[in-house]
Amino acid sequence: MSCAGAGALGGGGAGKTVTVAIVSNSQMQDAIKLVPEFEKTHPGVNVRFVSLSENQARAKITASVATGGNEFDVVMISNYETPQWAADGWLVNLQPYADKTPGYDPQDFLPKVRDALSYQGNLYSVPFYGESSFLAYRKDLFQQAGLTMPDHPTWMQVRDFAAKLANKKTGMSGICLRGLPGWGEVMAPLDTVINTFGGSWYDMNWNAQLNSPATSQAVDFYVNLVRDYGEPGPAVSSFGECATLMGQGNVAMWYDATSVVTALEDPSQSKVVGKIGYVPAPVEKTAHSGWLYTWSLAIPKTSENKQEAWDFMSWMTSKDYMHLVGTKLGWGHVPPGSRASTYQIPEYQQAAAAYLQPTLDAMNNADEEHPTAMPVPYTGIQFVSIPEFQDMGTRVSQQISAAIAGQTSVKDALDESQKYAQTVGDTYKGVSK
Amino acid sequence: MTTTIEAATVPKRAAKRPEHGPGSKADGWSRRLPLLPALVFTFIITQLPFVVTIYYSLESWNLVRPGSRHFVGLSNYAQVFTDSQFRQVTLNTVVLTVGSVLIAVALGLLLALMLNRAFPGRGVVRTLLITPFLITPVAAALLWKTTLLDPTYGLVNFILRPFGAGQTDWISSFPLTAVMMAIVWQWTPFMMLLILAGLQSQPDDVLEAAGVDGASSFAIFREITIPHLRRFIELGIVLGTIYLINVFDQIYMMTQGGPGIASSNLPFYIYQRAFLGFDVGQSAAMGVVVAILTTIVSTFALRLIFRTFSGNEASA
Amino acid sequence: MSTSTTAPAGPSAAAQHDEPRRKKGSAGRVIMAIVSWVVGIVFFFPVLWMVLTAFKQEADAYTDPPKLFFAPTLEQFKEVLSAGAGPALLNSLFATVMSTILVLLLAIPAAFAVSLRPVAKTRDVLFFFISTKMLPVVAAIVPIYVVVNEIHAVDNIWTLVVLYTAMNLPIAVWMMRSFFLEVPGALLEAASIDGASISRTMREVVLPVVSPGIAATALICVIFAWNEFFIAVNLTAAQAGTVPVFLVGFITSEGLYFAKLCAAATLAALPVVIAGWVAQNKLVQGLSFGAVK
């Protein structure tokens, strides 16, 4: 390519270049900072990053991989994409690479995470970071109000707490919940609520269940909870808004990813460090309800630098990397939820004392295979593992978000959602699981 | 009054079109030649993808369901026309485009009139006023979403709170309005500049003559300034419409089209079909429909406005 | 011109004589000056706030009530620069300058052809140009991506140069045509009697007259090219990413990075803001071309 040189205006150099597409979360930013350490030990390899917000990254990576674009050697995807893309033949089987690499120890990955990233028993992406969901609450506020958070709260209890702690005058919200449209936004916590209320997306025959009594009850509960006792502007709130509100001391409880700790336990961002307690995701009809999500790294089949790509990603997901982050950037920066050994590091245990056990418990209890009270034909907790889910989930989320904003009723929103879901479900009828 | 202006301008216009020699073939080509590079370039870069889009629109092709690609004829179009959301989104597009353009032009006119008067620090004020137009739209949208319109930390609510109205959650309660605010903030300066340019190009002698005649300021404004500005205002409307009909950044950054589809416009909706649903066939069909619709609408709009421009060209 | 202030004064104003009228005018002028300043500051305030926030610590960026006074820090700018703002700025600069040059090279002859020496169907040609701006880019982005990928030009800065040229060309032709229409016919006639070639007529007669218009057009092209986001985000990866793409890369789903975002936004906007400030006279002059020449 004659123009290739001009394409690299920002510099460049000899050797092979590995291009990595990642989602711009703080742990990934840390990895970018530490890359010189990798390049020191791998002099022939240049690593370049494309760092994008979650929605943008997902759209771009999917379009690129699906059309056989070859601009990326390593892509950051999740446990939603990995099994599907492995089945489509778009990803390189990483099992042989992982087995061959001395000291990499793929058995050390948390079992639920490893399963979620495997297809037919082979790893197709390797976890960088994993999360479940749990409930964060202000211990000091509960004490002041004479309330006690149970070790395993139910959603009904949580609502009662929220009602007691919400105070319009002082600007205190009882609870913060996501309401922003997007299948990875409002739908993530809401799906776990639907599951534990006994609802689901489909029954065993792929009949959509979005306006079934159980699902309706769950959505009704969620929407009213956030409307009555939730944060201001819930229909546009997501992780970031809730992190800000709770970090600034304006929220008493927050149900979200276990990664909330990065925002809440960092003194440079949060005014409530040390005042937060963590309990498992609230339940109703199931024993556990937390979700399972991981950001993981995979190599598209089209990559021309597979070995170098693996060299880099095995470095970024290795045991040594955890120590590197811990010593260079601080132990609070260590990416959680990927390796069991991380939780054995004494320094990490100390730094993460406030949330280490709740996080690990949540990770180990998240069950992608049996997410709901009743059997379903799909896997996935906060998603349905079919390619249409991104679009369907987003359309449904828009309806829910409109209900949260008060622009439509929950019933109308769900009736509309049911139509989308049934259209998709019909294409799976008669197809065995 | 009107006659004076025409008397002043008509000879100039008439002189502008000298009669060139009879159009021989060679002469025609020598006249067309300078046009060709731009024409060919634009044709290749913009029309070829459009042809491919038409081709895709006849296929059922979901990017994330490999092996699903096959020819389906017009069924994607049938779906577009029965999609109630598509109609809602079309309406949003019209409201957003027309609303933003008209408000920006009206505000721009006021600001231009304000700046056309001499006062201390006029240059500085003009500099302050044009800045929003220069800000990257992605950044501007973020600025509006977070620092200005956030229900808790936003400056707008902070200012409104003493008046007892600071609890509004702008972006979810009035999503289209919120997007429009950000757009108007950026486009008002452009309209202002254009109209200001128009004001400053008013022939001084005509204005003076009118003043000596004893015409009131308001009469001068109505009879001379507004007709003179018409061309500039129309240019502003055309340029604004062309850009804002395809506005994407603000919606993408501020509301993601929500809540529901309350603030989705056609480009954003097509984007979602293409990059969320990965339904290439259907998004292509929507794109073709939108292209046809906008071409029809703009043909009418442009013909109307072209009248003023063609006034320069053919008549007079 | 004192249109708007005296107008509300109503019928009595007409009866008044010179002296009181001037007094009233000066009082009105002071009020108008104050109003103008207030309006200017209100319009500018969001930008000012963005810049202020860029100098804050994250914890100060989001407070209720908003903080006007704080201990400024350069930390956010340092982080933004270390995250690779340099290459993004270079890419944007290259794409912007190259595409603007190409636009001018293509648009000046074209505008000349459709204005000063119109042939039949000029109007259709103009309409064709403008109609390409009406096609939604989103609809064509998948085909464009597929084609660009096919010729291995994804993540190549020249791809952006070509697309930005196509994006700005119609507007440039359109704007410049109206400037060219202002060229006095007598000048052209004289040149054509002299037997000057088209290119010489262009160079020696037309260009000097329309140069403020060209400057205004170029500035508009620069602004749109620098700020373009959608095409860039879909067709670049690690190497050719431009400033708006870089900026969006700072949005995390984790929140509380607003100060850093403002620092990135400030850096992103700065070059074009400065260019616009410096060239604003040219812009007004160019746009008002007819009378100021």
- What residue type is B216 in one-letter code? S
Nearest CA in chain B to C45: B128
- Residue B24 pLDDT level (bands cut at 50, 70, 90): low
- Inform me whether the pLDDT recorded for A430 exceeds 50: yes
Distance CA A306, CA A341 (A): 27
Q: Is some CB atom of chain A closer than 8 A to the CB atom of B311? A: no
Provide the sign of the torsion angle of the four alpha carbons C179, C184, C185, C187, taken in this order. Answer: negative
DSSP B235-294: HHHHHHHHHHTT--HHHHHHTTT-STTTT--HHHHHHHHHHTS-BHHHHHHHHHHHHHHH
- Residue A120 pLDDT level (bands cut at 50, 70, 90): very high
C145–A7 C-beta distance less than 8 A: no
Please, which residues have CB within 8 angstroms of residue C22's CB and are 6 or more apart in sequence?
Answer: none
C169–B56 C-beta distance less than 8 A: no
pLDDT score, position C24: 53
Among candidate residues B150, B137, C246, B175, the one with its CA nearest the CA of residue A240: B150
Please list the alpha-helical segments (H only) found in A183-318.
Answer: 187-196, 213-229, 239-247, 260-264, 306-316
Dump pLDDT digits (tens) for B78-89: 988 888 888 999
> Does the global pTM surpass 0.90?
no
pLDDT score, position C257: 72
b/e string for A146-155 if b means 16 or more Cβ within 10 A?
eeebeeebeb
C63–A50 C-beta distance less than 8 A: no
Tokens 């421009």 sit on residue: B309
pLDDT score, position A174: 96
Best residue in B52, B61, B63, B64 for a mutation probing chain A (most A CBs within 10 Å) = B64
A10–C87 C-beta distance less than 8 A: yes
Q: Is some CB atom of chain A closer than 8 A to the CB atom of B62? A: yes
Nearest CA in chain A to C238: A50
Q: Which residues does chain B have within 8 Å of residue C25's beta carbon, measured at their own beta carbons?
A: none
A240–C86 C-beta distance less than 8 A: no
Report chain A residues touching chain B, CB-CB < 8 A: 55, 59, 62-63, 66-67, 84, 88-90, 171, 179-182, 231-236, 244-245, 250, 387-388, 390-391, 394, 398-399, 401-402, 404-405, 407-408
A394–B172 C-beta distance less than 8 A: no
pLDDT score, position A115: 93
- What residue type is B302 in one-letter code? L
E strand intervals along chain B: 59-60, 70-71
- Residue B26 pLDDT level (bands cut at 50, 70, 90): low
pLDDT score, position B316: 31
Nearest CA in chain C to B307: C123
Distance CA B133, CA A160 (A): 49
More confident residue, B64 or A74: A74
For C52, phi then psi, to 5°, come to -60, -45
Distance CA C256, CA C185 (A): 61
Q: Is the distance from CB of B37 to CB of C106 less than 8 angstroms?
A: yes
pLDDT score, position B150: 80
DSSP B216-234: -HHHHIIIIIHHHHHHHHH
pLDDT score, position A318: 94
Q: H or E element: which one contains C157?
A: helix C157-180
Dump pLDDT digits (tens) for B90-133: 999 999 999 999 999 999 999 999 998 888 888 899 999 999 99
Please, which residues have CB within 8 angstroms of residue B128's CB and are 6 or more apart in sequence?
Answer: C40, C41, C43, C44
Nearest CA in chain C to B300: C127
CA end-to-end span of chain B, whole Å?
A: 19
Q: What token pair was written down for A348?
A: 């990490």
Distance CA A213, CA C92 (A): 54
Average pLDDT taken over every residue of chain A: 90
Determine the average pLDDT of the residues in B155-160: 84
b/e string for B36-53 if b means 16 or more Cβ within 10 A?
eebbebbeebbeebbebb
pLDDT digit of tens for each residue in chain C (293 aa)? 333 333 333 333 333 444 444 455 678 788 888 999 999 999 999 999 999 989 988 777 777 677 777 878 888 888 888 877 888 999 999 999 999 999 999 998 888 888 766 666 777 788 888 888 877 888 788 888 888 888 888 889 999 999 999 999 998 988 888 778 777 777 777 776 676 676 777 777 777 778 888 888 899 899 999 999 999 988 888 788 899 988 888 776 655 577 888 898 999 999 999 999 988 887 777 776 543 32
Determine the average pLDDT of the residues in A211-225: 96
Best residue in B75, B88, B172 for a mutation probing chain A (most A CBs within 10 Å) = B172
Q: H or E element: which one contains C190?
A: helix C185-194
pLDDT score, position C234: 87
Distance CA C192, CA A85 (A): 68
CB pairs under 8 A between A and B: 101
A72–C248 C-beta distance less than 8 A: no
Best residue in C256, C258, C260 for a mutation probing chain A (most A CBs within 10 Å) = C256
C189–B18 C-beta distance less than 8 A: yes
Provide the sign of the torsion angle of the four alpha carbons A419, A420, A426, A429, taken in this order. Answer: negative
Q: Is some CB atom of chain B closer than 8 A to the CB atom of C89? A: no
pLDDT score, position A14: 56
Tokens 């009082």 sit on residue: C27
pLDDT score, position C274: 92
β-pairing verdict for A74-78 and A16-23: parallel
Q: What token pair was written down for A197?
A: 């209320």
Residue C48 Cα, gap to closest chain A Cα (Å) = 22
pLDDT score, position C12: 39
Nearest CA in chain C to B193: C284
A407–B153 C-beta distance less than 8 A: no
- What residue type is C226 in one-letter code? W
Average pLDDT taken over every residue of chain B: 81
Residue A411 Cα, gap to closest chain B Cα (Å) = 14
Q: H or E element: which one contains B102?
A: helix B84-115
As separate numbers, helices (DSSP H) first and strands (DSSP E) second, chain C gives 16, 0
Q: Assign residue A212 a region (left: φ > 0; alpha: ψ between -120 and 50; beta: otherwise).
A: beta
> What crossing angle do the helices spanning A155-165 and A213-229 adopt, rounded to 10°?
20
* Subunits adjacent to chain C (3 or more Cβ pairs under 8 Å): A, B
Q: Is the distance from CB of A32 to CB of A13 less than 8 angstroms?
A: no
Q: Is the distance from CB of C225 to CB of C272 less than 8 angstroms?
A: no
pLDDT score, position B22: 44
Q: Is the distance from CB of A83 to CB of A119 less than 8 angstroms?
A: yes
Q: Is the distance from CB of A230 to CB of B169 less than 8 angstroms?
A: no
Lowest mean pLDDT among A259-268, A399-408, C103-112, C263-272: A259-268
Q: What token pair was written down for C246?
A: 């870089």
Q: Assign residue A206 a region (left: φ > 0; alpha: ψ between -120 and 50; beta: otherwise).
A: left
pLDDT score, position C103: 96
Q: Which residues does chain C have within 8 Å of residue A262's beta carbon, measured at their own beta carbons?
A: 254
Determine the average pLDDT of the residues in A44-51: 88
Dump pLDDT digits (tens) for C224-255: 999 999 999 888 887 888 999 888 887 766 55
Q: Which residues does chain B have within 8 Å of residue A180's beta carbon, measured at their own beta carbons?
A: 256, 258
